[in-house]
Structure 1
């Protein structure tokens, strides 16, 4: 993955993009020096709203949206251009980041034609009382939902908990301060940390795991005070922890897997916080995900080809060929037979593990790379997020042929379905319009499909 010295924690993604849309000369709302992906308005702009003034002003409800308010609170009626015009310009001028300059003119022919315009999840609420931030433009797993009312996100040097029922945010982890692990036992390679720049995160089964920009790993039991374990996984200079995965092995024991820029995958036992396995690969590992039965491991990184490996030994058992660039996201369908991989070539490929010779289907985004993928727990829907502006929800029961497109403005820090499938949360990273968007699943009516 691309490496850089991260001196500016918040909004570092903006350093990579300069191609902002230019409008009329008298437009000062979206200034011509704004980087792509940021909707920050000038400090002296007449249109900038007061973020701290009130929840009523900054948040948007479903009722307000139905009455014409923009779901993100952007005051299009006071700007010199319409939302449609701004969308059109961004689609034309957006430049997708590429690591490999390979010919892609035939990619469109390979892509599955998804019937857009469906609505599976309705907009429910948008809050700007908490807002996502990101530290590396290629890493977007920074938001997790543990119920339809509980969401965890990275906001600067904190992990915040957002209760969507109470509309309240609470800090659950502060990594700007010195972190001293509570677990102390002989042989435990824990060490204090401070000012960790969180690059990736996962929350599952009352365990929060965060990876750091300098190769750190932090584990916290959500029902216990303090941090149970923290350490630096490697001393390599370029050792970003790119991904963390919480899973159970075939015997039911909880494990944490880390993927690092030093081309290593490490597996930790959560009871003892001991590294019980370490697998080496030929390239930086950007993402790993373990199959639902705990037996197979998807390994993606700085290679156009992906690997399927044995989760216990790390030995490759199959290869996935077809992508044209580096991969940064993957997800397994709950049935364990389908693997989805997201790539900088702007596609998501679906693979049937019973036949890895070619991808089952290729789905394409609108503007950029596919940087986050999630399935609902029942396998009915798959969501895939681009770096900015678009989240796609695909109906798996239609053979991945029907989809909903969520159209927003801003960098996407993460996406997460609630475990009960009832809600979808989207983290938006932006100085002014950073927020959490909440969508609720629309009740299924089989007769409606027969009518229309």
Structure 2
């Protein structure tokens, strides 16, 4: 059966998010043609993103930006923790970014990790995860353990996945896989880890032991994106075969849906916190938003011109942000959740 026949035909015309603003004052940028996780929203008013060597916070309320971390010069930790490089780094090329619970982690092309608390001055922790020649940090996942402890997991091109305790900044687990790991995502209960990388097959792994529990077969190329639905039962993987596959942990023999991009690989996937919508981004020009409650059959297609540095849904699900890099300006596209107030028409 051909891939085209395997893909689900989606309905057009539904409206999930309305365009709000194209903010040219904040210049989103990318440094790697495959890694597109450089935009993070912590609320419908606050977005963090990379702009060349600068991590900035943008406020939709004031349309102003604030410098959070400048990595063009020398960056060194202001706190002392075992394993932290006191000499820090100079001119770090940030390949991936994650922000959650007032905590920011930036990963670099040489395996660098820079950790900063947004409510504290300075940088808390600097580390180089690996000195391998192919050391790029591909993805970072900040999550809470079942105990409530805040951790983050970094995946690298050296085939390693490393888990850090954010209270002590110590390496808790290190797992190695047969191929470079391009993205990881933790299930909402912290008990399952999705691993995708330079292999058509993905893995479902025990995050405590690194043991492979299930193998995901169906994609035709390498994967660079994954995300869990808040229900903890389904998750999605994005692949260079131009599809996003949706999986159900109750039956992983095949994917429950295959969603197709227009032109390129699926580089980023995000679910809204209420689980109603899922957004997936191609490398350029197209972001697709699906209505999960309707079995991914209804789609909103957002099209524009430019490379996509990342997508993010605000925790309250009210806003969708798209970082766009067009090699000249760079910008941040803002979309607001569409609400149907037709019930008010009865009073008109």
* TM-score, with structure 2 as normaliser: 0.97
1:268 & 1:228 partners in 2: Cα distance? 14
Contact 1:300/1:306, CA 8 A, preserved across alignment: yes
2:223 — aligned with what? 327
1:441 — aligned with what? 337
| Pair 1:300-2:196 in alignment | yes
2:77 — aligned with what? 181
| Pair 1:311-2:207 in alignment | yes
1:289 — aligned with what? 185
Structure 1 stretches of 4+ moved >2 Å: 187-191, 444-448
1:190 — aligned with what? 85
| Pair 1:147-2:69 in alignment | no
1:447 & 1:361 partners in 2: Cα distance? 33
2:126 & 2:303 partners in 1: Cα distance? 38
2:46 & 2:95 partners in 1: Cα distance? 21
Residue in structure 2 matching 1:274, options 161, 167, 170: 170
Any idea what the Cα deviations from partners look like across 1:290-330, whole Å, max 9, x if unmatched?
Answer: 00000000000000000000011111000100000000000
5 Å-filtered alignment, 1:26-425, equals 106-185=2-81, 187-191=82-86, 192-425=88-321
Contact 1:193/1:231, CA 8 A, preserved across alignment: no
1:289 & 1:445 partners in 2: Cα distance? 36
Which deviates the most, 422-431 or 376-385? 422-431
1:169 & 1:189 partners in 2: Cα distance? 30
1:280 Cα deviation after fit: 0.5
2:302 & 2:315 partners in 1: Cα distance? 20
1:21 — aligned with what? none
* SS of match in other structure, 1:234: coil
- Which has the larger helix fraction? 1
1:447 Cα deviation after fit: 7.0
Which deviates the most, 270-279 or 430-439? 430-439
Count of aligned positions: 343
- Which has the larger strand fraction? 2
2:63 & 2:244 partners in 1: Cα distance? 34
1:445 Cα deviation after fit: 5.1
* TM-score, with structure 1 as normaliser: 0.75
1:183 Cα deviation after fit: 2.0
Show structure 2 runs of 5+ residues with no match: none
1:180 Cα deviation after fit: 1.1
Any idea what the Cα deviations from partners look like across 1:84-131, whole Å, max 9, x if unmatched?
Answer: xxxxxxxxxxxxxxxxxxxxx810100011112211100001111111
1:188 Cα deviation after fit: 2.9
1:370 Cα deviation after fit: 0.4
Larger radius of gyration, structure 1 or 2? 1
2:214 & 2:256 partners in 1: Cα distance? 15
1:444 Cα deviation after fit: 3.3
1:189 Cα deviation after fit: 3.5
Contact 2:145/2:189, CA 8 A, preserved across alignment: yes
* SS of match in other structure, 1:300: strand
* SS of match in other structure, 1:304: strand
* CA RMSD between the two structures: 1.3
1:52 — aligned with what? none
* SS of match in other structure, 1:165: coil
2:247 & 2:128 partners in 1: Cα distance? 34
1:274 Cα deviation after fit: 0.5
1:218 & 1:326 partners in 2: Cα distance? 27
